[in-house]
Amino acid sequence: MAVNAEPQDFLFLSEILGQPIIGPEGRSMGKIMDLVVTLAEPYPIVTDALLSTGEGQKTAMFYRFPIIGEKQSPFRVHSVCADDFRAPSLLENELLLKDALLDKQIVDTHGAKVLRVNDLQFLTARQSLHLVHVDVGFRGLMRRSGLEKAVDLFLHGLFDYDLPNQFISWKFVQPISSPDLLRLKIAQDRLSRIHPADLADIIEDLDMRQRSAFFKSLDVETAAETLEETDPKIQVSLIEDMNAAEASDIIEEMSLSEAADLLGDLPREKAEGILKEMERDMAEDVKELLAHPEEEAGGLMTSAFLYFLPSEAVDKVISTIRHEAEDMDFIYYVYIVDENERLLGMISLKELLVAPGEALLSELMDDRVVSVHLDEDKDEIAELFAKYGLMAIPVVDDGDRIKGVILFKNLLEVVAPHLGKN
Amino acid sequence: MPENKEESPKNIFQRLSQRGFWRSLGLLFALIGPGIITSNVDNDAGGITTYSLAGAQFGLSLLWILIPITIALIIIQEMCARMGVVSGKGLSDLIRERFGAKITVYLMIVLFLANLGNTISEFAGIAASLEIFGVSKYISVPFGAFFVWWLVVKGNYKSVEKVFLVACLFYISYIISGFMGKPDWGQIGKALITPTIRTDPAFLTMAVGIIGTTIAPWMQFYLQSSVVDKGLKAEDYAYTRIDIIAGSFTVNIVAFFIIMLCAVTLFQNGIKIETAKDAAQALAPLAGAYCTWLFAFGLLNASLFAASILPLSTAYTICEAFGWESSVNHKFTEAPQFYWLYSLMIFLGAAIILFPNMPLVAIMFYSQVINGMLLPFILIFMLLLINDRRIMGDYVNGKLMNGVTWLTVGVLILLSVAMVISAVLS
């Protein structure tokens, strides 16, 4: 961890709370109820203490936290002036530690886990307290409940085992106990470092209120990626908590087939509201996918893929791919169709890249293309994927016209929903 | 926070009718469960024993007490469900965040012991009921323990919940066996609405025992977690309330039939019993062998049901308080504390029954005492939490509701304390 050259200079929040601050005449000015920190990089600095009503004071006040010397417990101050007190309201970028963190849940952005805070650890440096670690271990819990010595004696005596501390560096801590905390500046950069699949796991671990606050704090793109990885039931509850405009922004960033699945799970009025807010092109594509049952080829496919006429040359095709890939769900196979969109053949991206630029698709394409009908069952499709070792299978209608492409990834979610998700 | 305040029943019905009958019915069935399951688990081995003893020793005179119990149960469970729906958090989560680590650690230790005691009595119930069918406890208990463990560890929560909902239906066996006792309904109806109070200690202890077994500490944690787990929202709260009221009625209807059956058969013939097993066996000559079998089957179902839920609920509650991964949907390595706690409770619960010469009656008795000592704390915590605007927003208790709840809780606390004192003195 960052600074631990002098371990004797560490202090726990549980050792500070409830301690009195002793005034110049040796009298208690009140007990420390909570600590105020100013968020600073890399570690927040303790600036004030919330004092209980002591002598000569009617209400709880913030009091400038005394300069920390060596071995200063209880905390003593040599002089008191009116400037040191202020009304107990937080400025922007300030946190009340006990209120916001102690006993509350946090996200460990390094391990991508939701944990509960048992204690906070400060480092005394440059005469002030810096919040460096969050204690999430059993040892911290035992310390808080006054059982640390007993448990040590028991474990050491019986099993020769020393209970370790489990600390998380503040750098990896994202407080989540209230929506305000998620709006703090630290939130975005810390959360954006987590993989969307891990973000989805975190969301599943949170309770309902925290979920939607947490989700709303993500930027649109991350939110869309995270939503794709989330359990369908939770997807629905997250989207139901948003208004149609917010929701449509996120859903537009999702892949077409995932978006269609999600909208299909929503109550009808909500889904229609969102479709109205969405870009027209995407809304229409989604509506088309929604027309098919979810477990059949039509419901599994995406319509964001590329197809060309056989008369196109390789160079032109590659430049189109480069241009369009951003909006596509799948680009590794390119399909070749006639003027009526009837499926003629396919070619892989690899084959395109190694082919001469002026060659025509009709010369290169493989016409032994495996396709399925719109109402093909998921198990049959799985068989085909396994037999032919494909990444995707095109879907055609009664007239053999291409309607969409089923990605292996999307099939897997339907055939083996338990894999990869908790 | 949603702006609509406490909904009056009238509004609920208005909304139900606006949504269309079939749609509402569908929603009701989708959202129902937590209240009914919790209440039914409450009719566990300990409950059935207490009801049988009440009927056999005091006849119909304690029947009326089920009416105030039903009301108290509805009031308390409604608070739990409301807290779950509004905060989206479990009760132990709220207690930890509001009252801190120290209180929570000690509370969880006591809760673990109390629930372990209850689990032991569930396994005793499994052993007793199957002994009536001639199965040795050395077979029934290990098999029951494995079944319960397997159900949760290898199954998934959806199927587990369905199994439990079906298990609730089997409580009908008590209602059927109640009719087999050929009761005199006029006399029973009169007993139900005539409060009889006697001041002898045995009568009072039994009255407190019935209340104690019906309103237990673990229930509040379990109910609130299941409400949260179901992802119920404030808009669906009307349905949850129906669920809870239905649950509270079912539990007391079953209790009614057990007390009534034992009163019209055992009490009127002056037969003394000490356990639910005695009750089942004594029924054979009076109401027929089928009645015994139904009674024993009911006991088996209740014990198995509660033996599945109690360890699960305990593991959930403790993990939630301490921030450990806790879900039946996780694998063993992902939630080790959860599965260890769960497995440990089942293992201990079952193993203790199999020890020869274990003082079972004493263990069950002391677990009731621990329950009784724990309940006041939990009820007070609940009241403090539900009146905290930071948690509940506009859904805090109204003045009237607060008066009624404090009164209920006050009476319950008084009774619990009385039970603990009388238990310690005797």
Q: Could you report the per-residue pLDDT of A80-137, keeping only the tens digit for each?
A: 777 777 777 787 788 888 888 899 888 888 888 888 999 999 888 777 888 899 999 8
Query: What is the band of A7 on the pLDDT scale with cuts at 50, 70, 90?
Result: very low
pLDDT of B6: 44
The pLDDT assigned to B103 comes to: 93
> What's the rounded Cα separation, in Å, for the pair B393 and B92?
19
What DSSP state is assigned to residue B268?
Answer: T
Residues in chain A with CB shorter than 8 Å from the CB of B93 are: 207
DSSP A185-230: HHHHHHHHTS-HHHHHHHHHHS-HHHHHHHHHTS-HHHHHHHHHHS
Q: Are A308 and A349 in contact (CB under 8 A)?
A: no
Within 8 A of A145 by CB-CB distance, chain B residues are 101-102, 105-106
CA distance B133 to chain A (A): 41
Instruction: Kindly give the pairing relationship between strand A119-125 and strand A128-135.
Output: antiparallel
pLDDT at B91 over 80: yes
Which pTM value belongs to this model? 0.79
* Beta-bridge mates of residue A46: A37
Residue A407: beta bridge partners?
A392
Beta-carbon separation of B231 and A145 below 8 A? no
- Helix (H), strand (E) at residue B188: helix B185-193
Q: Which of B105, B225, B226, B330 to mutate to test the interface with A (most CBs of A within 10 A)?
A: B105
Rounded CA separation A47/A66 (Å): 9
Q: Which residue, A400, A397, A421, A398, is CA-closest to A409?
A: A421
Of A103, A177, A233, the CB nearest to B101: A103
The shortest CB-CB distance from A145 to any of B89, B102, B334 is to: B102
Using an 8 Å Cβ cutoff, are B260 and B183 in contact?
yes
Specify the long-range contacts of residues A390-395, CB closer than 8 Å, at least 24 apart: A391/A330, A391/A332, A391/A333, A392/A305, A392/A330, A392/A332, A392/A333, A394/A335, A394/A343, A394/A346, A394/A369, A395/A297, A395/A298, A395/A301, A395/A371
A:B CB pairs within 8 Å: 55
**A136 vs B327: CB contact, 8 Å cut-off?**
no
- The CA distance from A223 to A247, in Å, is 10
Nearest by CB: B105 against A102, A145, A233: A145
List CB contacts (< 8 A) between B322 and chain A.
Answer: 116, 141
Å from A33 to nearest chain B CA? 13
Separation CA B241–CA B253 (nearest Å):
18
Query: Cβ of A157 under 8 Å from any chain B Cβ?
Result: no
Each residue of A220-244: pLDDT tens digit? Answer: 888 999 998 888 888 888 888 888 8
pLDDT tens, B338-390? Answer: 889 999 999 999 998 888 877 777 777 777 778 877 888 898 999 999 998 88
Residue A233: list chain B partners with CB under 8 A. Answer: 231
**A104:B97 CB<8 A:** yes
